[in-house]
Structures are given as structure tokens and as C-alpha cells.
Structure 1
Amino acid sequence: MKLHRLAVATFLATAAMAAHAEITVSPMVGYHMFDNDKNIDDEAESSLALGYRVNPNVGLELRYGFANPTSKTSGAGDVRHEMATLDTYYRFNVENKLQPYVLIGGGLARGTGSGGAGYVEHTIANVAIGTFYEIYDNLAFRAELRGVEDMQESDHDGIASIGVTYSFGGAEPAAIAPAAVVAPVAVKVDGDDDKDGVLNSADKCPGTPTAVVVTADGCPKVLMETVSREMRVLFDTDKSIVKPEFNDEIEGVAKLLKEYPTATVEIQGHTDSRGSASYNDALSQRRADAIANVLVKNYGIAANRISTKGYGASQPVADNKTAEGRAKNRRSVAVAEGEVKVTVKK
């Protein structure tokens, strides 16, 4: 009964430990050489070992062996011999196929037979040497020589066995790649180099003068302002020829148009009240066109930036009943206008 309890308890403990580890099963056959004092013949033995590998070198093993020798006592018949041990072993050269080992352990042995040719359970100790030879990753040939000491009777048995060992579970953990070496990163402290109140990381216009107002992105705040220049040119009666004395007036408009590329100009032509309406309309248009030609030819202003319109005598600025008034009405006027960005100062 003790032998059975030892076998069951050891099996359960080993199975629990091996739930997530490598376990081994080793069926073996051999030859049991009994001590002469036992008075039984040597006999073939079968055994089964269940093992748990603590690590690649060290393992625990529960072994059960059975033999059916014949008693040397006349008329005693066969003897049933059983042995259960809990052993630990150490494997050498685990990186090679051939792996010698040494083993030590202990347990119980029991022999029973008919006619009184038997003995009760005895405590035993055993040592062994052997070797594994790996055939596959999970299958190995096994050979062993074991010595058994009966602690009560001081008997000495020997067992020579061969068999196979099958391993399962306990897959080797995946190799962990070495951690990548990360070079230290210099951390630059955010500042405000141009002292405009906007940090460098958000400043889209570095180097802004300190005297100007800036927006949230660090760029100068600008406003659009309208610039304009007026021109007034007078003409002789019934003429559309531009007189040299008005060149400065025309040049002033040309300068504004050149300085502000988006600026445009509208030139208006006018007459006094003498003559028919249709004639005056045509004359006023010629006067406006004459000013436009000067801007294009003499100052290189693009024609598409200039518009002209003749208003005839419809918009007098003076009394047409007097010579002085009529002279003021024979005119061309212009207003050049454009938008300019103005930086806002603090």
C-alpha cells in the first residue's frame, strides 16, 4: 500500500510541476540481478519513468519497475517484485546528441509470492549512470546501469536497462533580440531669439524687428492702406495735344503706378460747352487717350492698368460763360489708386 501511495503522490506532484514545463516518459526493458540473499533468480524487468526537467541539465523522475522472478526455494513458485523510486539526475553535454547522466534517489520495493517465498515492503536507495542519445528533438535512446540498496536487509541489486525517452511540452522561449541602443537626443530649450513674444518653435518670421507689432505666428502685423495721386491737365480750345508744362502732373501719376504694381488709374476727358454734344464727347475722349498714350510710351505703364473715358461738357467745374471758366473746363483729370501693406508699429 505504501508503494502505491508513493507512486500516486509523486505522479501528481510531478504532473502539477510540469503543467507548463518539459516532461518526459521513458519506457524501458532490462535485466534485474538480485542479491543472492534474496534467494530468487535473476529476471527480465520492465519499467516506466515519468520525468520533469527542472532545467536543461537537472531533472526529477518517478520510476516504477516490475519483474516476475522465480524463487530458488523448492516449491515456492514465482515472486512478484515491484519497485518505485523518486530520483533526480544531472545531464552532461546537453548541447550534444550524446548526453551522459548520473542519478540518485530512493523509494520502496516489495516482493510477494506464493508459499511464503516473499518479503514485505522495504525502503531502498539507488544510484545510476547512463546516457541519452537524441534521435530527434523530442525522442532519445536511453541506456542505464542502476545499483539498488535495500536499507533493511543490506542487499545489493543491479539493473541494466535500455529504452527510449519521449519529451513533450516546455518549448524553449523565443530568443529575445537585444534592445536597440538609442543615441541620446539633445533637447533644445525653446526660446524667443527675436524677442517678439512668440517662441521660436511657433515663430514663422524669425528676426522680426522689435519695434513692430506681430501676429500669433510671429510675423509683422500689416494693414492695407489706399494710396492715390490726382492729376489735372488743361488743353487749348478744340485741341487734344498735351502741353509740356503738364509733364510733371503726368509723371507724378506714373511714379505712383510704378511704386505700387497693383495700382490702376482712370483718366477722364472734359470740354467746355461750345460745340455739339457729340463733338465734345469725341474731343473729351481724345484728350483722355492722349494722357494714356504718354503714360504708356514715355513711362512704360502697362495699358491694361489704364482706363479712359470722355465726358464731353457734362461735368463743368467752372462757368462756361467766361473765357476763364471755359479754360478750366477744357481738362483731363485722373486719380491713380492702389493698396499698400503698412506694418503696424508699436
Structure 2
Amino acid sequence: MNKCLLLALAGLLTGLVVSNAEAAVRPHAFTLDLGAGGYFFESQQNIEDAPFFTLGLGYNLGTHWAIEGTAGYLTTQLKDDENFDLNAYIGRLDLIRHFGPDNAFVPYVAIGLGGLVFDPERNRAPVDKDGFLDWGLGFKLALSDNIALRADARHYFTVENESLDGSEYNNFSATAGLQFQFGGGVETAGVIDQDRDGVIDSVDRCQGSAAGTAVDAFGCPEDSDRDGVYDQDDKCPGTLAGTSVDASGCAADSDGDSVIDDQDQCPDTPAGTEVDAVGCPLPVPTLLDSDRDGVADSADKCPGTPSEVPVNSVGCPRDSDGDLVFDIDDKCPGTPAGVSVDSDGCPVPQPEKASLDLAIEFGTDSAAISAANNPELEKAAAFINAHPGVRIIIEGHTDDVGSASYNQQLSLRRAGSVRTALVERYGVPSDRVIARGYGETRPVADNATPEGRLANRRVVVRIEE
């Protein structure tokens, strides 16, 4: 049986690929269905699953709704007694809701009720009648205007025995087959439902509705809140009855003050005007300007400015050259941007940018300073004392002989030796002197010659910038 079901489903999927019919549902057509598949019993019933055959007759109330009566037959036996054969007859009546009925592929849902009769062969037991409620899912795939493939899966909620007071079971069926349509649609005299909205033309007050549009009983697009704007165009569904709305179905606000017209007691308020809850302009507050500089106290960052002093937009005296000294106090107006100034707005003298090269000779791979270099140290101490109040950088430099990392460390040790000598021998404050090593990264001459390498092995004393 499972192989039969797989073959049937494969056939349906093949049809889905090759079908080019326009629609699987024709309004007001009668339908005949032939199906085969399987019926599956709940395990507690002790009944074997079995092949299931169906014959259905239906009528399309429109394109979306249909009613259908179905008769089914199967033969099976008890699980614990293979010789106990049963014939089962099923009858059900269903209401079907189609989705996308104008397409060749139409899914649907169904709900209904019916009965199941068990008739044991050879009268081995009394005939048993069960009632059930059923629901299911399926689809129809049009092969032509009159023939469609159909697949259906159904769930049955059954109540055992005639008095409906027995056990409750959940059974299932799956079938596939063909559906044939007769009459209805354009095959009857005249066009019955030309726009295919599910309402026949003789009743349709809005013929020509766009395909897929939800319509009411008279074929017109639905207007759930009755504001005169169809649901498909209504951007504000659920508007209260009697409310004036615009073309999009939203409460109208003609003057754009965010108070709808029905509540607006001051219509035609000029754009941008602040309004209260009933759409009327708010009273304009009187602005207080205590220092009478033309800037309200609420925005004045410099209250108390004399009234004759020109101020900027925040009530502070102007600073035309941007040096943070108000014009009224600035003794050097027009100072260039970026120049440091004093409290009078005048440029602050900058310390002299100067440096001193020391001719200190070090031994190979050594940072020790011999007594022969004392004159150079004295020159450095004099240079530092001549520039009080500034920090001094002592730079160590090397030539390019050796690795870069080694030369950097060597230059730092030599700069450190000079710093230590200046602090310990000449009383230079330690917090004013910083030693830095630059290795071979800042040559002042060509390292390709002995003279150039000698010039590059140097110590420089300079003022920190």
C-alpha cells in the first residue's frame, strides 16, 4: 500500500511540473472525485491499516467555497485475528475553502462530519456504527479546464458505537486521484462570474474586481470599518464609525497640526504652530531679558552683561579673533588663530627653540664618560642653566654599524650616562632632564665614510618642544 501512495504522490508532483491549465476551480461547477490511498487506524482499535477508495460529489459555491459529499470503502481485518475480516464503509459531508482559486495549483482546507460502518464478514460480529468529525488539507492541480489531480490528507476524530458513548479514536487517511468538473463558469449560458471573485455577475455590484481581492456578498471590496475606503487601500483599519477620513482611510488632519479634524477646535492653524490637545495655538510666553542684551534669560549664558556691550547669540560678549578673550577686554584684537595669548588677549612669548651638540667620545660598546669629556659636560650644564623653566631632552645617536636594535639600546645608555653626570656632578634638577636613544635612525651625515659615521655618533642637548 505504501508503494501505491508513493507512486500516486510522484504522479501528482510530475503533474505540478507539466501543468499549464489556467485554474483548478470553476465557480458553480459540479465535481466528481475518484481517489485511492490508505486508511490508518489508531493502534488501540486492533484493526489493520488498509487500502482506501473514495468517490466524491461536490458543488463549487463560488471559487473560494465548495461543499462535498464523499463515500469511501476499505476491507481489513483484526490485528490479532487474520481470519476476522471487516468491510468498512465511510460517508462524510465537508465544507471546503480554496486558496488562490484562479491558479492551476490550488491548496485547500476542509472540515466536516460523517460516519463509519464496520460490517464483519460471515456475520462473525454485529454491525458497528461510529460517528466522527473530520478536517483535512489538500490541493488540486489543474490538468485542463475540466480535469485536475487531487491529493487529500484527513484526520478523523471518531466516537465508537451507535450510542456515541464509547471510546474516542484518532484515525487518518491519505488519498490521491482525479477530479472532474461539469458546468459552471463560462460553460453555462453567459458569463456567470466574469471577474472570478466568487460572486455571480447577476449579484455582483462591483464587477471587474482585481484577482485575489477579498469581496463582500455583493462582490465589492470589503470595508470593515465602513469609512468609505476599501480594506485593500485602508492604512488605518478600525477607524471609529462617523470619523472623517482621508483617501488612505486615516482620520483627516487638514491643517497638519496632529489633531484630527473631528477634535480640532481651531481648524486651519498655520503650519508649524504649536497647539494644545484641541488643536488651538498655545499662548506665546513673554521672554525675560534681565540684562537687556537682546538674548532671553533662558538662553543667556552670560547674564549681567552691560546693555551697551555687543553680544553673540548666547548673550556673551563677542570674541572676534576667537582667542577666548572678549573684545571688550582684548588689548590685542586680531590675534591669529591658534596663537597662545595671555589674559589681555596678547600673544605669550614662546621659549627659544635651541639645541647643543656635544663632542663626547665613548669607548667601543661603552657608555662610560671619561674625565676628558668634562668640558663638554660643563657646556651642557651651562646651556641648561641658561634656559630655566623648560624641560631638556638629551638625545643619544649612533652610526649604522651593528644591528638597529643594538644601536638603539647603546644610544639610550650613552644618553643616560650624560644625564646622570649632569645631575650628579653639576646639580641639574633630575625632573628637568630626559634621556632618549634614537640609535641609527637620525643620521646627520653619510654612514658610508668614516667621517660621516663619526658625525653620527653624537649626543645632543635640546629644549623640549
Higher strand share: 1
TM-score band, normalised by the shorter chain? 0.3 to 0.5
With the length of structure 1 as denominator, give the TM-score of the two structures: 0.43
With the length of structure 2 as denominator, give the TM-score of the two structures: 0.32
Higher helix share: 1
Max Rg structure: 1
Higher relative contact order (CA 8 A, sep 6+): 1
